Amino acid sequence: MIFEHVLDDVARGGYDDIRRPADVLRGAAHQLYRYIDRVSPLVAREYADERDRLHGTPRLHLLRRVQAVLAGQPPLGLDYAMDGTHVAVVASGDAAAAIARVADDLGADCLTVLEPSGDRTWGWLHADAHDDVAARLRREDLPGAHAGIGGPCLGVSGFRLAHRQALVAWQVADARGGGVVAARDAMVEALALGDQDLARELVRAELGLLAGPDERSVRLRTTLGAWFAARESVSATAAALEIAPRTVTYRLRRAETLLGHAIAERRAEIETALRLQRLFESR
């Protein structure tokens, strides 16, 4: 900031002697170098002290390694495989034991770290479905009474994405005053929190293969949206789209095949995902 001030002062000019601006810059540079010379040993000493503290505190050391992976660095020194599918958990308080019990029930590997403040626990499990994790976690006596769940997501990037989803889901659970919230059930809340990128990811996760840009997927989404708008009336949907009722029924069944489950199982979430996808596509 000081150097920027010096540059502004030089830029304003008003010097009679052409050598004066150069003298001012040279003096400012010398001051800056002296500052760096004084500060560098202090930074080096603090770095060494922090390194010693990390080696002396295994939990803090593990947290730093996890934070490095979340920041985009390679996953080194973690006793947890990055390949496969991850479900992430962010829970209030020290919930490591509860997450470990859930992992044992599922026969899954897990990784947990506690924030330095002790306010929240971050966890990851090798699991293919967030529903199984959520159901078991709701039966646990969580220290903070609420948690957020993200995923399932694949690979190292999925490790990061699932955690990001779990953080937003935790915010939603916290705002609701407790409970276990899965990110896929909080698309609208994610938008309300200002995270459009995450909302897009949750839409894609909800729609699965139905979210594709190909003509068939678009046609199936259009039919499904019209069916919702027609209050699930096949005949009204057929009239609106000017197709045969049998075609509507076929497309709905095909949509369920791509979703991997019956529409009725997650009706509200699917309709919300369709509406949000139309919004994103229009923008």
100-119, pLDDT tens digit by residue?
999 998 998 999 998 877 78
**44 and 109 together in one domain:** no
> Where do we find the tokens 């923008």?
283
> Pick from 122, 155, 185: which residue ends a domain?
185
What are the counts of helices (DSSP H) followed by strands (DSSP E) for the chain? 12, 5
Q: Say if residue 134's pLDDT is above 70.
A: yes
* Domain span at 41: 2-55
**129 and 171 together in one domain:** yes
β 85-92/146-154 pair status: antiparallel
Is residue 70 a part of any domain in this protein? Answer: no
Is residue 76 a part of any domain in this protein? Answer: no
**134 and 175 together in one domain:** yes
β 110-114/146-154 pair status: unpaired
Spacing of C-alpha 117 from chain mean position = 21
Q: 245-259 and 234-241 helices cross at what angle (nearest 10)?
A: 100
**221 and 178 together in one domain:** no
pTM, two decimals, is: 0.60
Is residue 197 a part of any domain in this protein? Answer: no
- Greatest mean pLDDT among 4-8, 113-117, 237-241 lies in 237-241
CATH number, residue 240: 1.10.10.2840
Query: Residue 23: which pLDDT band, with cuts at 50, 70 and 90?
Result: confident
**Whether 169 contacts 148, CB under 8 Å:** yes
**39 and 98 together in one domain:** no
- How many independent structural domains does the chain possess? 3
Q: Six-digit token pair at 11?
A: 């830029």
CATH number, residue 127: 3.30.70
When the pLDDT of each residue in the chain is averaged and rounded to a whole number, the result is 84
Is residue 194 a part of any domain in this protein? Answer: no
**Whether 69 contacts 156, CB under 8 Å:** yes
Tens-place pLDDT, residues 253-277: 999 998 888 888 888 888 888 877 8
Is residue 195 a part of any domain in this protein? Answer: no
Output the CA–CA distances (angstroms, integers) from residue 146 to 67, 124, 133, 162, in the order listed: 22, 16, 14, 17
Looking at residue 131, its amino acid is D
150-155 mean pLDDT: 89
Q: Six-digit token pair at 47?
A: 């770095």
Is residue 193 a part of any domain in this protein? Answer: no
**9 and 51 together in one domain:** yes
Residue 141 or residue 182, greater confidence: 182
Is residue 174 a part of any domain in this protein? Answer: yes
Is residue 67 a part of any domain in this protein? Answer: no
**130 and 160 together in one domain:** yes
Non-local CB neighbours of 245 within 8 Å, separated by 6+ positions:
234, 235, 237, 238
Tens-place pLDDT, residues 34-52: 989 999 999 998 888 777 7
Q: Say if residue 124's pLDDT is above 90.
A: yes
